[in-house]
Structure 1
């Protein structure tokens, strides 16, 4: 934009100095015409340069049952191999008994823009016979990240605050075609106030277009019935019609019916594309007529990544922070000019410290009880193995004792220990 363009925009009658307080009377607002180019119209360029120099970060969590394509979707979304191909254990391999929260980080770059990506996976979720309260470890992990950020904010030196909060949670729904399962409903109800929920229908290529449309309607009906809040893009007053229409089109696709693929296939017209090949045809991942992957990528990365981070910081985290401070007795004083009370400040810090210690103590107790239970189970198993071994050895000794006593009786009675072989009858018997 040239200097003349800047001047023409700034000379517009609407240009004025902003007021400090929104409730200030309109008569006190000073409106001035700019007599020339000032330069604050260049502020967006300054922010752009600073952001590119600093880089960006984004943390996404993927939740769903095993085999629904979580790792494949992440690789497809960011067009890189964050997750290598998995080696599935055999049918006799021991299955994990708890949900393990795993995190992987990667620094990726595109056109000079650096992104620090963190993906949090939840292997084991929904894979047990009894999945009641299987969402608890995930909820505790999200809250622990909030607590960690709150602790960093309460430090004296807050220059290096690391944001490990979850900015988006992609929840994979099994393509049953019926409705949400009970575990899906309970998970969303417990976490929808802590994280930006983005529901997706996994492996949508197993369903027809009509089945997908009907399944989406049933999912949205269940979400509305249970008052579950999923992520919705905010609308701003000065947005252009094109952006509004684009956001509405994205929101209409929720829950996204997705297909993921790391490999390329060749179409009938000779094009190479990411997709899956079947005897009846090819599913193209980047074709909006085949699935909603493009819309999911557009919302998650291209248009709403910063919105997801802002909503996490300004709404979800602030609500959690307020509830946390109120629960430990910290109240908000709305007086404008108030002297800092060192005793009250120390009491607040002491309350936060005691709450942190109580949480650490509870976690240590839980870990201790878990280790004790595991140790008792191992000891019980070892005891059973020793008992069975003792029983087998006792039976073998008793049998050996019985054989020896039988041989002793034979020796005492003068009978041979081994019976004599009877001679065969025939013409060789006299030889």
Structure 2
């Protein structure tokens, strides 16, 4: 098993970025899994590339996982080991090409719901193993970045349906894609409309008020809540600005600097995901979304008169009999 893991790791690209100052890293290595959802052409891959200043999207290397679930959506995930000063983070980006692209988008969120729940189920079965691993591999989705087209109007029915359903099982961070197509005034107005729409439809997006742990955290999170959805522009091209190399997009008005908060809120999104809130996103996934799933599953098995043992037995029996045969 160890050899297989090593060879898999060797096959992954090692990307060097400055992780210190980004994350309070407790473990010697950990997984962080981000899902990106939105129609084609909203710049999801570009944004993910920009986010990690390295090619961490499905365009950059062969997907290590691909599952065709339905005609509309097949999920692809790409993992990278990001390493800096001996600290390793396994970053996985799960892309959902084809989401919302069809004429009839009825139930197009189902494969995504199914995927998220399957990862919880996988984790639960590992937890219930007779011989449990010391560190359970974590494929659970820690954050779902949902791309809204920069229409300047209201939330579309598909956005409402998706976020309503997904908000209860995963942390959602909505972003306005290709925000440079809107003027600053349009952008502010659109953001306000979206926040109204989220509230009116009872949609829960991250960070939720009820999970703030203290007054300090509430102040920090209120600031984030006031600027959600982040208006973002992605690019992986560098330009010279005042003698410095900056990530930016050339337009007829000049260069939009991706990391300049006056131009777009990309830096806020990056800070939320991989600086200030990375550990919190993992905690909310484990203590709230996964816990809700776990309790529901265990209640179901109890209601069926199976109890905990039946769930663990699905996995455990084979191992146990193998162990016994060696005695």
Could you tell me which of 207, 210, 213 is aligned with 1:236?
213
Counterpart contact for 1:59–1:120, Cα < 8 Å: yes
Confirm whether residue 72 of structure 1 aligns to residue 46 of structure 2.
yes
Of 265, 274, 283, 2:256 maps to: 283
Equivalent residues of 1:203, 1:259 under 8 A apart: yes
Does residue 150 of the first structure (1) align with residue 112 of the second (2)?
no
Helix, strand or coil: the match of 1:328?
helix
Are 2:239 and 1:265 equivalent residues in the alignment? Answer: yes
C-alpha displacement of 1:170: 0.1
Between 245-254 and 203-212, the greater mean CA deviation after superposition: 245-254
Q: Distance in 2 between matches of 1:56 and 1:69?
A: 27
Q: Which residue of 1 aligns with 2:321?
A: none
User: Residues 137-161 of structure 1: CA distance to partner in whole angstroms, max 9, x if unpaired?
Assistant: 0000001111111111111111241
Distance 1:227 1:174 in 2: 21
- Structure with the largest fraction of helix: 1
Aligned partners of 2:231 and 2:264 also within 8 Å = yes
The answer to whether the aligner puts 1:274 opposite 2:247 as a matched pair is: yes
Partner Cα distance (2:114, 2:163) in 1: 14
The alignment's TM-score, normalised by the length of structure 2, stands at 0.80
Distance 2:185 2:159 in 1: 22
CA distance in 2, matches of 1:226, 1:140: 23
Q: 1:32-71: per-residue Cα shift (whole Å, max 9, x none)?
A: xxxxxxxxxxxxxxxx89x35x212100000000011111
Match of 1:208 in 2: 183
Looking at structure 1, the residues matched to 311 and 303 of structure 2 have their Cα atoms a distance apart, in angstroms, of 8
Correspondent of 2:273 among 271, 282, 300: 300
Q: Of 146, 150, 164, which residue of structure 2 is paired with 1:175? A: 150
1:89-238 mapped onto 2 (5 Å cutoff): 97-159=71-133, 160-232=135-207, 234-237=211-214
Q: 1:157 to 1:68 in 2, by over 3 A?
A: same
Residue 251 of structure 1, CA deviation? 2.7
Q: Answer yes or no: is 1:350 the counterpart of 2:323.
A: no
Report deviation, 1:238: 7.4
> For 1:351 and 1:114, how far apart are their aligned partners in 2?
33
Secondary structure of 1:164 counterpart: coil
TM-score using structure 1 length: 0.61
> By how many angstroms is 1:245 displaced?
4.6
Are the aligned partners of 2:73 and 2:99 in contact in 1 as well (CA < 8 Å)?
yes
- Residue in 1 that maps onto 2:317: none
* Cα drift, residue 165 of structure 1: 0.4
Cα 1:144/1:84, change in 2 over 3 Å: closer
Residue in structure 2 matched with residue 320 of structure 1 by the alignment:
293
The answer to whether the 8 Å contact 1:330/1:348 transfers is: no
1:411 matched to which residue of 2?
Answer: none
Larger strand proportion of the pair: 2
Q: Which runs of 5+ in 2 are unaligned?
A: 1-23, 61-69, 315-327
C-alpha root-mean-square deviation of aligned residues, in Å? 2.4
Query: 5 Å matches for 1:1-80?
Result: 51-52=26-27, 54-80=28-54
CA shift digits 1:175-231 (9 cap, x unpaired)? 111011111111011111110000000000000111011111111111111111101
Gap change, CA 1:221 and 1:244, over 3 Å in 2: closer
Q: Is the CA contact 2:234–2:258 (under 8 Å) kept in the aligned structure 1?
A: yes
Query: Does structure 2 retain, via aligned residues, the 8 Å contact 1:253–1:295?
Result: no
Unaligned regions of 5+ residues in structure 1, if any?
Answer: 1-47, 87-95, 332-343, 355-431
Matches within 5 A, 1:383-422: none
**Separation in structure 2 between the aligned mates of residue 222 and residue 352 of structure 1, nearest angstrom:** 43
CA distance in 2 between partners of 1:237 and 1:115 (Å): 28
